[in-house]
A and B are shown apart, each in its own frame.
Chain A
Amino acid sequence: MKLLLKTSILVIPFIIFSFFYLYLSKDNSYPGADYKNFNLPSFELENLYDESLISNNALKGTYLINIWASWCITCRIEHGFLTQLNDSNIRIVGLNYKDDRDDAIEWLVKYGNPYETVLHDYKGSLALDMGVTGAPETFLVRDQMVVAHYRGEINKMIWGDVFMPLIKGEGLADAK
């Protein structure tokens, strides 16, 4: 019994220490990232500019879907990085989330439009089907399949750590 007590005094702290070491030193520092794959939900939404209907089948290839709104302050901060991505020929589809059409257009005129297409999701119906909790959020879509989802602002670091490993060697930049 004494031996058992002595060994457990050594073993139990060791187990606890290694448990915390394993879990705390793990390098998954992006709680906003989710790599669950799912089909892009079917939708039919209006184009922000000309109100023509766009369906999920109209979007082809590999591209980003970025959820944004003119009322969203973080989107304004993220906007500079999206512009950079667009400049390096990354395709971005904007999903304007619960926003007034005129406000959204004005916002894009004021700060520039990095989006290839902007969908107007006034009721947030597509956003709800995609598991969007707010703005900004960004999805990586490949052939009608969502392969990455990031909740929150994306920047150079997150782009490099979360998205780049998935699109490396694919030539997303040449897709445009």
Chain B
Amino acid sequence: MLNRFLFLFFISFSLFAEPYYEFNNNEDEKRFFSLIKEIRCPKCTSGSLASSNAPVSEDLKKVIAEMIEDGQSDEDIKNFISDRFGKETLYDTPREPNTYALWYSPFVFLLICLVFFFFRKKS
């Protein structure tokens, strides 16, 4: 009798769970989970779509899952979202003329430091 009760106790609700987003194959599913980590939730100060359950993030995750099912590329999906919610939704900042300073200024500074270091006059 006790054993039966114990058995009930250990039945997990997750046995009856169904996947929330369905994919054709594991590859698609992996793409989905990596994409939602690379895209910022538009409603949050800083958090990925994966970390957010704001209504707009839920909608975007649904859209991403659908676009993956449609066979669209990561590039298409990121463009779709950044067209609507701005470039700041992309964690991986694109290398464009207006972000060159952001991407390359550290190397320029390093170069300047090296020049100073090697050409200094020793007293």
Of A49-57, A105-113, A131-139, the segment with at least 4 beta carbons within 8 Å of chain B is: A131-139
With beta carbons under 8 angstroms apart, the residue of B56, B63, B123 that contacts A1 is: B123
Question: Looking across the interface, which residue of chain A has its beta carbon closest to that of B116?
Answer: A4
User: Are A129 and B84 closer than 8 Å at their CB atoms?
Assistant: yes
Q: Residues of B contacting A36 with CB < 8 Å?
A: 86
With beta carbons under 8 angstroms apart, the residue of A123, A129, A134 that contacts B54 is: A134
Chain A, 122-160, contact with B by CB distance < 8 Å: what is the 0/1 string? 011001111111100000000000000000000000000
With beta carbons under 8 angstroms apart, the residue of B43, B84, B120 that contacts A134 is: B43
Asked if A98 is an interface residue, CB under 8 A from chain B, the answer is yes
Known: A1-B121, A1-B123, A134-B43. A128 touches B60 (CB 8 A): yes
How many A residues are at the interface, by size bracket?
Answer: 10 to 19
Q: Residues of A contacting B54 with CB < 8 Å?
A: 133-134
Known: A1-B120, A133-B42. A124 touches B56 (CB 8 A): yes
23 A/B residue pairs, CB under 8 Å, sorted by A: A1-B120, A1-B121, A1-B123, A34-B86, A123-B59, A124-B55, A124-B56, A124-B59, A128-B56, A128-B59, A128-B60, A128-B63, A131-B84, A131-B85, A131-B86, A132-B56, A133-B42, A133-B43, A133-B54, A133-B56, A133-B85, A134-B43, A134-B56
Interface residues of chain B, those whose CB is within 8 Å of chain A, are 42-43, 54-56, 59-60, 63, 84-86, 120-121, 123
The 6 closest A-B pairs by CB, nearest first: A131-B84, A133-B43, A133-B42, A133-B56, A131-B85, A128-B59
